[in-house]
Amino acid sequence: MNTAITHNGQQDHAGDHGYQPSGFLRWLTTTNHKDIGTMYMTFSLVMFFLGGLMILLVRAELFQPGLQFFKPEFFNQLIGNHALIMIFGALMPAATGFANWQIPLMIGAPDMALPRLNNWGFWLLPPAAMMLTLPFVLELFGVGDGALATGWTFYAPLSVQGGIGVDFAIFAVHILGISSIMGSINIIVTIFNMRAPGMTMMKLPLFVWGWLITAFLLVITLPVLAGAVTMLLTDRHFGTHFFNAAGGGDPILFQHLFWFFGHPEVYILLLPVWGLMPHVLSTFSRKPTYGYKAQVYSFIAIGVLSLVVWAHHFFTAGLPVPALLYFMYSTMSISLPLAVLFFCWIATMWRGAMTFETPMLFAVGFIVLFGIAGLTGLVLADVAADAQYHHSYFVVAHFHYALFTGGIMGVMTGVYYWLPKWTGHMYNEKLGKLHFWLTALSFNLTFMPQFFLGLAGMPRRIPDYALQFAEFNALSTIGAFILGFSQLLFAWNIWRCIHGGEKVPAKVWEGAEGLEWQLSSPPPHHSWETQPTVH
């Protein structure tokens, strides 16, 4: 790892700390928010490729009807672990990486409030990822029957029936949950206590606001997930019957508990990106953010609403009519604060002086494609139509429009936007643009056909399918491989940017506003030694 993006001890604080480990020990023991941010981002990128590899295996199997490469048992392990790794391994750590790097810079703080907790929060992740993937390896040595094969949702009783992969996944989720809760507490404490003088809550950068809501959602919902999987564990091994009807339990209880976490989780993944968007749009439109207050209130409204709409994830499970109606209308009402955000994003661009560097391209691509996710979400809320969409590829396409474009492309927007600040070097613009166009086009080639597959009646999570689905699946697989391999450009561009390239000034972008652009690129070791005053 090059020192450029991290800490150069000699330069600014020689002697401040006494002992300064180097090499691996330095990364293991670091309490610097930027080092930890870098580790989160690196971990996220590695997991992104691991999760991507898994789904490329899946898409290869689905290229043609018939069982080509894998047994269904292995196929089922791939899909669930793809989801867990992408959500808990790639997206959440990427967002936490941004938070670590950016929140102190943006609010004028020297570091995060709880640096040692911060270190521990990160170093829980690699063991958790190993827990999740270890059963794949164990199976090769004849131990157990592979990783979690229930899909990422752990639905009981299938997960009660499953092998040791379920236990490994339960403990992995516990560890990941602890890590996220610690990270969230750190972020909340930092935002409440470490702001520069004069930075009132209503002057907080929107990215920080987005993360604040995210952190609260994590603290509220993750314990419920931990409780649900613990109940599952005791059902599996200690003779309880939480989810077993024969013992007075109810399998649907698991779905309620899981989705009480699972739905806010969607917004946990998206809110940091929604917070980031106004910064990018305003920078490249050279115009102040439109509707700051409206966006803050929308974040809060979405955060609250996300806690009360969970049952729309299992409309087909047979809920009573009043519950169906309540969850339908409450879900639809999320479209209102979301529309406020779209309105503000476009209004921020309106009558600006726009240029389209890579971050702006990703931001615009995000708005358009995420728009498709939002709009299809609106029809999915409708119970009767949902009876057709549910459990089908229509849903798969919908949530990939939400989580790939809303999540991953949002993260890419942020990486291109802030990477020059972090490394002190400009990335390769041509490569960045190529990466954007390949990603956006192949993403649509992958997932647009999946909408039609779902409408035509193809269920999700099947390793083999009827002949009428063959053409769209072939298209989707071709798209997925282009999409997957295009991401190598991303990794290469980041690598090159870390190791050299054109030097950038403190204010990397012409139209950028905010405290982080007042610090040198890369920023000094203790980001703000003297807190700035905000007027």
Partner 1 sequence: MEYRETPRHALAASPRRTPLPAWLPALALTVVAFPAGAEMRFNFPEPATPMARETLHMHNEFMLIITALFVVVFAIMVYSMVKHRKSQGVEPAKFTGPTGKLQWFWVLVPFAMLLFIDFILMGIPAFHAVIEMEDTQTKADMVLKVTGMQWKWQYEYPDSGIKYISTLATPRDQIDNKAAKGEHYLLEVDNPLVLPVGKKVRVLITSTDVIHTWWVPQFGAKRDAIPGFLRETWVKIDQPGIYRGQCAELCGKDHGFMPVVVQAVTEPEYAAWVEKKKAEQAAAANSADRAWSKEELMAKGKQVYATICAACHQPNGQGLPPAFPALAGSKVVNTPLLSMDGKLVPDTHVYRVMNGKPGTAMQAFKTTLSDVDLAAVITFERNSFGNAQGDMIQPAQIKALR
Q: SS3 of 147, please?
A: strand
Residue 494 CA to residue 41 CA, distance in Å, equals 11
How buried is 521 (Cβ within 10 angstroms: 0-12 exposed, 13-18 middle, 19+ buried)? buried
For the chain, the farthest-separated pair of C-alpha atoms sits apart, in whole angstroms, at: 70
How buried is 87 (Cβ within 10 angstroms: 0-12 exposed, 13-18 middle, 19+ buried)? buried
Q: Is 59 in the site for partner 1 (CB under 8 A)?
A: no
For 130, how many CA atoms within 13 A lie in the half-sphere containing its CB?
A: 5
Q: Which of 316, 518, 520, 533 binds partner 1 (CB under 8 A)?
A: 316
Q: Is 251 in the site for partner 1 (CB under 8 A)?
A: yes
Residue closer to partner 1, measured from CB, 129 or 328: 328
Q: Is 372 in the site for partner 1 (CB under 8 A)?
A: yes
Residue closer to partner 1, measured from CB, 19 or 351: 351
Q: Is 506 in the site for partner 1 (CB under 8 A)?
A: no
For 526, how many CA atoms within 13 A lie in the half-sphere containing its CB?
A: 12
Enter the tokens of residue 407. 């999540």
Q: Which of 124, 445, 497, 512 binds partner 1 (CB under 8 A)?
A: 445
Residue closer to partner 1, measured from CB, 19 or 467: 467
Residue closer to partner 1, measured from CB, 177 or 479: 479
Q: Is 113 in the site for partner 1 (CB under 8 A)?
A: no
The minimum distance between CB 336 and partner 1, in angstroms, equals: 6
For 147, phi then psi, to 5°, come to -80, 180
Residue 226 CA to residue 221 CA, distance in Å, equals 9
Q: Which of 466, 485, 520, 533 binds partner 1 (CB under 8 A)?
A: 466
Q: Is 3 in the site for partner 1 (CB under 8 A)?
A: no
Q: Is 178 in the site for partner 1 (CB under 8 A)?
A: no
Residue closer to partner 1, measured from CB, 128 or 204: 204
Q: Is 444 in the site for partner 1 (CB under 8 A)?
A: yes
Residue closer to partner 1, measured from CB, 20 or 333: 333
* Whether the Cβ atoms of residue 100 and residue 40 lie closer than 8 Å to each other: yes
The minimum distance between CB 83 and partner 1, in angstroms, equals: 12
Residue closer to partner 1, measured from CB, 74 or 490: 74
Q: Is 60 in the site for partner 1 (CB under 8 A)?
A: no
Residue 359 CA to residue 493 CA, distance in Å, equals 13
The minimum distance between CB 202 and partner 1, in angstroms, equals: 13
Which of the stretches 10-18, 87-95, 222-230, 241-249 binds partner 1 when contact is defined by CB under 8 A?
241-249
Angle between helices 292-306 and 206-237 (to 10 degrees): 10
Q: Is 259 in the site for partner 1 (CB under 8 A)?
A: no
- The letter for the amino acid at 157 is P
Q: Is 514 in the site for partner 1 (CB under 8 A)?
A: no
Q: Is 211 in the site for partner 1 (CB under 8 A)?
A: no
- Residues in contact with 525: Cβ distance below 8 Å, sequence separation at least 6, in sequence order: 7, 8, 9, 11, 12, 13, 32, 34
- The letter for the amino acid at 294 is A
Among positions 327-346, residues that touch partner 1 (CB under 8 A) are 328-329, 332-333, 335-336, 339-340, 342-343, 346
Q: Is 301 in the site for partner 1 (CB under 8 A)?
A: no
Among positions 376-405, residues that touch partner 1 (CB under 8 A) are 376, 378-379, 382-385, 387-388, 390-392
Which of the stretches 83-91, 111-119, 176-184, 285-293 binds partner 1 when contact is defined by CB under 8 A?
285-293
Q: Is 433 in the site for partner 1 (CB under 8 A)?
A: no
Taking Cα atoms as reference points, which of 279, 285, 287 lies closest to residue 421? Answer: 279
How buried is 384 (Cβ within 10 angstroms: 0-12 exposed, 13-18 middle, 19+ buried)? exposed
